[in-house]
């Protein structure tokens, strides 16, 4: 899971089924995850809704994705983290 904060107000958490890392290319800051079969889940929050970055990070790292067959997800599918 990758957790990002922008100016301490916008909080973004990204989950990918395969390991993710920032591109080694120094001219870009792309986040990449190898593999043909992969999925990305993005959780966006704010300090108002989710508290501090540390609280947001704890909530997301404690979350699980249940009863979802990853390969059956289609573009636009809503996934709730428990």
Region of residue 74 (phi > 0: left; psi between -120 and 50: alpha; otherwise: beta): beta
> For residue 77, is it within any domain?
no
pLDDT tens-digit readout, 9-52: 788 888 888 888 888 776 667 888 888 778 788 888 888 888 88
Range of the domain at 39: 2-72
Say whether pTM exceeds 0.85.
no
Give, as one character, the DSSP assignment of residue 65.
Answer: -
Whether residue 82 lies inside any domain: the answer is no
Report yes or no on 16 lying in a domain.
yes
**Which of 10, 13, 16, 43 lies closest to 32, judged by CA?**
16
Domains in the chain, number = 1
Query: Considering the domain boundaries, does residue 78 fall inside one?
Result: no
Closest CA to 65 of 53, 49, 50, 82: 82
Distance (Å, whole) CA 74 – CA 68: 12
Does a structural domain hold residue 38?
yes
């Amino acid at each position: 899971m990758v957790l990002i904060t922008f100016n301490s107000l916008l909080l973004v958490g990204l989950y990918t089924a395969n390991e993710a890392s920032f591109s080694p290319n120094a001219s870009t800051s792309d986040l990449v995850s190898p593999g043909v079969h992969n999925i990305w889940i993005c959780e966006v929050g704010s300090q108002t809704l989710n508290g501090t970055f540390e609280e947001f990070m704890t909530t997301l790292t404690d979350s699980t994705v249940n009863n979802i067959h990853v390969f059956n997800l289609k573009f636009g599918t809503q996934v709730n983290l428990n």
